[in-house]
Structure 1
Amino acid sequence: MTKKQSAANILIGLSVCILAVGASACHDDKGGNAVVPAGQKPVITGMASDASELLAGQYTSVYCEAYDPDGDSLRYAWSADQGVFPAGTQKKAVRWTAPSGPCTAIITCTVSDGRQSASMELGILVKPKP
């Protein structure tokens, strides 16, 4: 065997070892696919509003995007330090009505999978009516 053939065989052997180690890291000990640890909390990927500022008494839609790494179904709960949610607080998109202002209202979305939860806040500037 030449030096060139020996080097090629070593590289092939190392590649097979690396692939085998990498593959075993992606499978559980029973030979199945990758296992996501159970009990992970939901992840909120973003929160947005149709308006970043409103006049007192105006309304806007507010949205919360989230997912659960375990694949659990999610429940949404909205709250605000000021203003109201006239159509409820249990959906991923809600309508929020600004208070009499002026203020920066803080709106919070809490997402729960029944065991754990995650929250995110959004501020909306409320100006007095002219």
Structure 2
Amino acid sequence: MIKQVRNQMGWLARLIIPVLAILFIGGCAPANQPPVISSLIADEEQISPYDNCLVSCVASDPDGDELSYTWSASGGNISGDGAVVTWVAPEEVSTYTITVKVIDGRGGEATAQVTIDVFINHPPVIDSLVTEALNIRRATPCVIECIASDPDGDELYYNWLPSRGSISGDGAVITWIAPNTYGTYTITVTVTDAWGDKTTDSMSIVVSCGCG
């Protein structure tokens, strides 16, 4: 009788121990951790209507889960999928928000947003070209100034090109050194803004002997 009880207890022990092990392991399983978005970057902060730019999301998952990406925008269109998409700007000038949701497939998710301005750029305006003299001697230096502005307040860049002679300096004010031959020469300036829009103007200067 005692032996039989012991056998029954042994079977019971062998049954309970695996069950407890399963419960123990299951109870200590780590909870799922959501994805982490390191950055969300648009390769252009400002673009023109109907222009496009790339938007890139850098994300990872602490559990090593495979990630999927869902994109949306407050305006315009998104093409592509995955971590990098192309956003096409609408016609209307405004600030738009692009949103990405990163999902790990186990209920974890993370969201980030980036804004892009849609605007219409205006080219620079050259108000005037000013020089100290319109008739100078051969091989004589002459200061020329380009008075220009930009409707959008963009930084301006100046490129000077003479038909003859040479240019010294850069920017809005330069010195043109006349050639050693008589004639009428043209000095041209191209003013470009930060977005590549440009305006060109020129002026003529006579090189003579200076005889009255």
Q: CA deviation at 1:57?
A: 0.4
CA offsets per residue over residues 85-126 of structure 1, 9 Å max, x none? 1x33x3100011011121100000110001121100000000
TM-score using structure 1 length: 0.67
Change (3 A) 1:59 1:121: same
Q: Which residue of 54, 63, 76 corresponds with 1:61?
A: 54
Residue number in structure 2 paired with 1:110:
101
How many angstroms does 1:37 deviate by? 3.3
2:42 to 24, 35, 49: 49
After TM superposition, what 4+ stretches of structure 1 lie above 2 angstroms from structure 2? 35-38
Q: Is the 1:56–1:129 Cα contact (8 Å) retained in structure 2? A: no
Q: 1:44 to 1:36 in 2, by over 3 A?
A: farther
Aligned equivalents of 2:95, 2:29: Cα separation in 1: 40
Instruction: Report the 3-state secondary structure (helix = DSSP H, G, I; strand = E; otherwise coil) of the residue aligned with 1:111.
Output: strand
Q: Percent identity?
A: 37
Code of the aligned partner of 2:96: A
The number of equivalent residue pairs is: 96
Bigger helix share: 1
How far does the alpha carbon of each residue in 1:16-48 deviate from its partner, in whole angstroms, 9 at most, with x for none? xxxxxxxxxxxxxx9xxxx99331110000010
Q: Aligned residue for 2:32?
A: 39
1:13-92 superposed matches below 5 A: 37-85=30-78, 87-88=79-80, 90-92=81-83
Deviations 1:48-105 (A, max 9, x none): 01100000100000000000111100001110010101x33x3100011011121100
Rg larger in 1 or in 2?
2
More strand by share: 2
Q: Partners in 1 of 2:36 and 2:29 — Cα distance? A: 14
Q: Does 1:122 align with 2:114?
A: yes
For residues 119 and 38 of structure 2, the distance between their equivalents in structure 1, rounded to whole angstroms, comes to: 28
Query: Do the aligned partners of 1:36 and 1:69 also contact (CA within 8 Å) in 2?
Result: no
- TM-score, normalising length: structure 2: 0.42
Q: Do structure 1's residue 100 and structure 2's residue 91 form an aligned pair? A: yes
Instruction: Please give the root-mean-square deviation of Cα atoms over the aligned residues, in Å.
Output: 2.1
Gaps of 5+ in 1: 1-29
Distance in 2 (CA, whole Å) between partners of 1:63 and 1:36 is 34
Which has the higher relative contact order, 1 or 2, with Cα contacts under 8 A spaced 6 or more apart?
Answer: 1
